[in-house]
Amino acid sequence: MTPTRLMSLAAVTLTACLASPAVVSARDDSRDRSAEQAEGQHSRRLNVQVGPRPYYLVEDMDESPLKRRLQQCSEGPFYKTEFSIGHRGAPLQFPEHTKESYEAAARMGAGILECDVTFTKDRQLVCRHSQCDLHTTTNILAIPALAAKCTQPFQPANPATGRPASAMCCTSDITLAEFKQLCGKMDASNPAATTVAQYLGGTANWRTDLYSTCGTVLTHKESIELFKKLGTKFTPELKAPSVPMPFQGEYTQQQYAQQMIDEYKQARVPASDVWPQSFDLNDVLYWIQHEPRFGKQAVYLDGRYEIPGTLFDPNNPTTWVPNMDALVDSGVKVIAPPIYVLLTLDAQGKIVPSAYAKAARAAGLDIITWSFERAGPLKTGGGFYYQSVAPAIDNDGDMLVALDVLARHVGIIGMFSDWPGTVTYYANCMGL
């Protein structure tokens, strides 16, 4: 065969290969990966802005070496950190679980974002803190056709009998298409309301409705794509169903738990980027057994403190059932109690790690906690989240003292926050 003939044949073969579906597909996949990588690099270069709140809190601290160290970080630079976890986004000021809330959290440097996962009537997964919170977190009651489908329609307050206003609207009451008609709002209601418009108010005076015009509600799949674009990682929480399971007689808890993981697999999200959470230990054990790559980072949200009839005490190991070693033996690697469970006061009244915190670390468990910036003003001790150290809390700046103990002495690996900029500032300043 002549050289000219060989060159001609090679050209024809190359043209055929380039035109073949397999090669075109491979080329397109390569372009998609390149685009994804470029998009990821752009998102990682996001100009993190923590805003004025961290500076206010630092200046509000009592004089101390910690305050002076934090003051020295005032000019940054600030950058995204996985220590800072957007709890429902940034719901201190933005409607929770909305696109706008998540974008605000990412802008404040949250390296991980949370979608609380529940399901609709047609078994589609959506981001909501509770299956039955639509009446306080969305405008569903203002849409008559959808309000009529609520488990419990709006009932006005009755001042004569003292009955408060009420309603109950669940994602399982409506389809996904109907869910997408909703606007997210600040989580609140007015128990004295006699009209729907009044009931949809009630936002706490230390929050704001400034960004609550119409928050964009999201499906779980949409949250995955948004977080990918924002360059963050994922911590979905499988919420306890408010309806009997199996739902509609056939949708089981296990199918629900599997569906959540499947949506990450379908989106080709690496398991190492996902921290699935649940208050139900059985969900965590299911992931450990059936999805071990995801189960490796499954987070057991420890809610044993609120189980009726229990005497849970963070400083009394006999009240922890199962205990830390038993959890580790079952495969659990990450535990996440509320802030107060990890803290106590020493004889001098200083904030120190609780027995629970020490035992979790000794057992080899990683610890995440919640939720920073959720307690409102701390003049009176901080309420639920700081109840174990309330005598040491009398101003907003004290929350940074608690955060410092959690980070440097308890050794938490992440903090959920309703306003991630504060945690980002601390983590960046301390090199976390």
- DSSP three-state, residue 32: helix
pLDDT of amino acid 307 = 86
What are residue 116's DSSP bridge partners?
A: 237
419 belongs to a structural domain: yes
pLDDT value, residue 4: 39
Q: Is residue 22 part of a domain?
A: no
How high is the pLDDT of residue 46?
77
**Do 229 and 111 share a structural domain?**
yes
- Residue 365 sits in the same domain as residue 232: yes
Of the residues 186, 215, 244, the one at which a domain ends? 215
Domains held by the chain: number: 2
Q: Is residue 301 in a domain?
A: yes
**What CATH number is attached to the domain comprising 300?**
3.20.20.190
Is 349 in the same domain as 261?
Answer: yes
Q: How many CB atoms lie under 10 A from the CB of residue 322?
A: 13
Give CA–CA dist 239/253, Å, rounded. 11
- Tell me how far apart the alpha carbons of residues 415 and 370 are, in angstroms, rounded to a whole number: 6
User: Would you call 387 helix, strand, or coil by DSSP?
Assistant: helix
- Of 197, 215, 233, the position where a domain reaches its end is 215
User: What is the C-alpha to C-alpha distance for residues 303 and 301, in angstroms, rounded to an integer?
Assistant: 6
**Quick one: 206 and 222 in the same domain?**
no
Q: Are residues 152 and 82 in the same domain?
A: no
Is 32 a domain residue? no
pLDDT at 88: 98
Together in a domain, 377 and 299: yes
Looking at the fold, whether 273 and 398 belong to one and the same domain comes out as yes
Same-domain status, 417 and 280: yes
Dihedral sign from CA coordinates of 96, 102, 106, 107 = negative
Taking alpha carbons only, the member of 274, 276, 283, 288 closest to residue 240 is 283
Measured distance CA(47)–CA(17) in Å, rounded: 43
Does residue 7 lie within any of the structural domains? no
- Spatial CA neighbour of 422 closest among 382, 374, 351: 374
- Range list of H helices, 201-343: 220-230, 253-266, 281-290, 292-295, 324-329
Range of the structural domain that residue 110 is part of: 53-115+218-430
The answer to whether residues 242 and 256 belong to one domain is yes
Both tokens of 20, joined, read: 């073949």
Q: Is 224 found in the same domain as 95?
A: yes
40 in a structural domain:
no
Query: What distance in Å separates the CA atoms of residue 211 and residue 418, rounded to the nearest whole number?
Result: 15
pLDDT tens string for the chain (432 positions)? 444 333 333 333 333 333 333 333 343 344 444 444 444 444 456 799 999 999 999 999 999 999 999 999 999 999 999 999 999 999 999 999 999 999 999 999 999 999 999 999 999 999 999 999 999 999 999 999 999 999 999 999 999 999 999 999 999 999 999 999 999 999 999 999 999 999 999 999 999 999 999 999 999 999 999 999 999 999 999 999 999 999 999 999 999 999 999 999 999 999 999 999 999 999 999 999 999 999 999 999 999 999 888 889 999 999 999 999 999 999 999 999 999 999 999 999 999 999 999 999 999 999 999 999 999 999 988 999 999 999 999 999 999 999 999 999 999 999 999 999 999 999 999 999
pLDDT value of residue 45: 64
Residue 82 resides in a domain: yes
pLDDT score recorded for residue 62: 97
Whether residue 169 sits in one domain with residue 307: no
Question: Same domain, yes or no, for 422 and 326?
Answer: yes
Residue where a domain terminates, one of 155, 187, 215: 215
| CB 413, CB 367: distance < 8 Å | yes
User: Does a structural domain hold residue 42?
Assistant: no
- Confidence (pLDDT) at 421: 98
Sign of the dihedral defined by the CA atoms of residues 51, 212, 87, 126, in that order: negative
